[in-house]
Structure 1
C-alpha cells in the first residue's frame, strides 16, 4: 500500500517535471510549433510533446509490468502518430470519414496514417493487457494462461477499441482551451480506483495536466493531436484495466457512438448550448 502511494506521488512529480521542462524549452517559441487557433491568436503546439513526455516519464513508475508496457506503448504510439499529423500534415481530409475516404481513394495522408496506426498500436497494447500471459519482469511477458483463444481475442479487440476510441475522443475535444484536460480530470475522478494498479498512471496524468493547465487555459498553448491522442490513450488504458468485461463493452459502445456523432454534430455547439456543460467548459478559461 505504502509503495503504491509513493509510486503514485513520484509518477505525478515525474509527469509534472517532464512536462514543465519541455514547455519551458526553446521548442515552445520555435516557429514550427506556432499555429493560429479558433480565436485568431497565436498558440504553441509545444504543449503536445510536453504532455506526451510527462505521461511517458510518469508511466515508467507503474508497478504492474503488463500495465506499464501497455501504457508506454499506447501513449508513445498515439503521441508519435499525432505528432506526425501535427507537424508533417499532408492532405486536406478532416475527420474520421474524411481520412477513411482518402484511404479508399488510395491517398495516404498523415491523417490516414494516424487513424490506422493508433488502432493497431492499441490492439498491440490490449494484447499485452488482456493476452494469455502472466506478467513477470519489467516488460511483463511470461507463461501462457489456460483461456479459450476466441474469448481472449474478443477481449483484446474490445480493449484495443477502448484505448483507440479514447485517444480519438480526446482529440475531438481539444477544440477550446482546457477542454481536453478537464475531460481527462473528470474521467479520472469518476473512475473506480479501488484497484491499486491504476494509481501510478493516474498520478502521471494528474502531474502532466497540472503542469500544462495554466498555459492551456490561458490559450497560449494547446495539446494538438500529439498531446490529446497521448492523453486519451493513457486514460483509455486505465479505463480498460479497471473496468469489467461488460463495462469495457459499454465504454466501447459509447466511444463509438460519440465518434460517429461527431461526424454530424459539433461538440462545441452542444457544450455551449447546455448550461452545466458550458459552465464546466468555460471555468478558468482566459480565452473564449
Structure 2
C-alpha cells in the first residue's frame, strides 16, 4: 500500500497510467477480431478495448493507493466486478435479441416474459458489487462503530453510492471523452483525506486512456464507465459517513431520475461552458 502523501498519490496515479496502457495493449492483442468493434455516434468504427483497460488499470491502481487492506479489497471488488458485468452487457447486449429491452422497465418486462436480458444481469451485478464493496469498507476497524441499525444504514447507503455512481457515469458515456472528463471532475475533490489514494489511482488510469478516447480510437462502453463510476463511488464512500453518503446518494438519484426526462447531451449542447468542456480535445469531424 502507498502512503497518502504527495509522493504516494503521484505514484498511484502513475501506476494507473501505466497499468491502463498495458491493459489496453493486452486487450487489443488477445480480443478476437471484431468482437469489440462498435460504431460510434459519428459512424466510425471504434474499439471497446478501452473498457477492460480502464477496469483493470484503475482497479489495480486504486487498490494500491487505498492505504489499507479493506479499502484495497473494496476497490478491486467494485472496479473489477462492475467492469465484468459491464463487459458482459457490452458483448451479449449487442445481439439483436437483446436490443429490444431498454431501461430498467424494459428489462423487468422481459423478465416477466421469462427472458433474462444482459442489461438485467448488469443491473443485478453492479448492485451486488456495490453491496460487497460497501461491506468491505465497513470492515475497516478505523471507521467508528455505533448502533447496528446505523451501521446497517451506512452499509446500504454506501452500496447505493457505489452502484448509483456506476450507473450515472455510464449514462454520460455517449460522446468521446465525456464520461472520462466527468470522472476526473469528480475525482478532483476526492484527492484529499481517506479517499485520496483511491481517487488518484482511478484518475491516473483515466488520464492514461483519455487521448485514445477523445481521438475515437477506443470507447469505454459499459465496462469502462461502470468500473469508473463504481471506483468513484468507493472513494465517495471512503470519505463520508451516513449523512455524507445520504447526501451523495440523493444527488446521484436526482441526476439519474432527470436522465429519464431530459437528454444530458442536449443540456450540455445548450449550456455555455459545459459545451466547450465537453468538446475540449475531441477530434473534429
Whether TM exceeds 0.5 here: the answer is yes
* Aligned mates of 2:117, 2:30 — CA distance in 1: 25
Which of these residues, 83, 87, 101, is aligned with residue 83 of structure 1? 87
CA spacing shift, 1:113–1:229, aligned 2, 3 Å: same
Normalising by structure 1, what TM-score?
0.89
Structure 2 residue matching 1:22: 3-state secondary structure: helix
Q: Which runs of 5+ in 2 are unaligned?
A: none
Mark the CA change 1:105 to 1:150 in structure 2 (over 3 Å): closer, same or farther. Answer: farther
CA RMSD between the two structures: 2.1
Q: Which residue of 2 aligns with 1:279?
A: 276
Matched, 1:72 2:76: yes
- Contact kept in structure 1, 2:55 and 2:79, CA below 8 Å: yes
Say whether 1:53 aligns with 2:56: yes
Give CA deviations for 1:144-165 in whole Å, capped at 9, x if unaligned: 9853221111111111000000
Match of 1:9 in 2: 10
Counterpart position of 1:138: none
CA distance in structure 2 between the partners assigned to 1:88 and 1:226 by the alignment: 12
Deviation of 1:43 after TM superposition, in Å, equals: 0.4
The corresponding residue for 2:221 is 224
CA distance in 2, matches of 1:127, 1:3: 23
Q: Which residue of 1 aligns with 2:43?
A: 40
User: Hey, what's the Cα distance between the residues in 1 that align with 2:145 and 2:24?
Assistant: 47
CA offsets per residue over residues 26-74 of structure 1, 9 Å max, x none? 2578311111011100001000001111012213312122211111111
Partner of 2:141: 134
Shift, 1:264, TM fit: 2.1
Closer, same or farther: CA 245–146 of 1 in aligned 2, 3 Å = closer
Q: What whole-Å deviation, never above 9, does each CA across 1:127-171 have from its counterpart, x for those lacking one?
A: 12135x626xxxxxxxx9853221111111111000000000111
Per-residue CA deviation, residues 175-233 of structure 1 (Å, 9 max, x unaligned), is: 00010011011112233x441x3222122112211110111011111000000000000
TM-score, structure 2 length as denominator? 0.90
Aligned residues: 276
Rounded Cα–Cα distance in structure 2 between residues aligned with 1:28 and 1:182:
26
Contact 2:57 2:205 in 1 (8 A): yes
> Are the aligned partners of 1:29 and 1:44 in contact in 2 as well (CA < 8 Å)?
no
Match of 2:132 in 1: 124
Distance of aligned partners of 1:145 and 1:172 in 2 relative to their CA distance in 1, 3 Å threshold:
closer
Structure 1: which 5+ residue stretches go unaligned?
A: 136-143
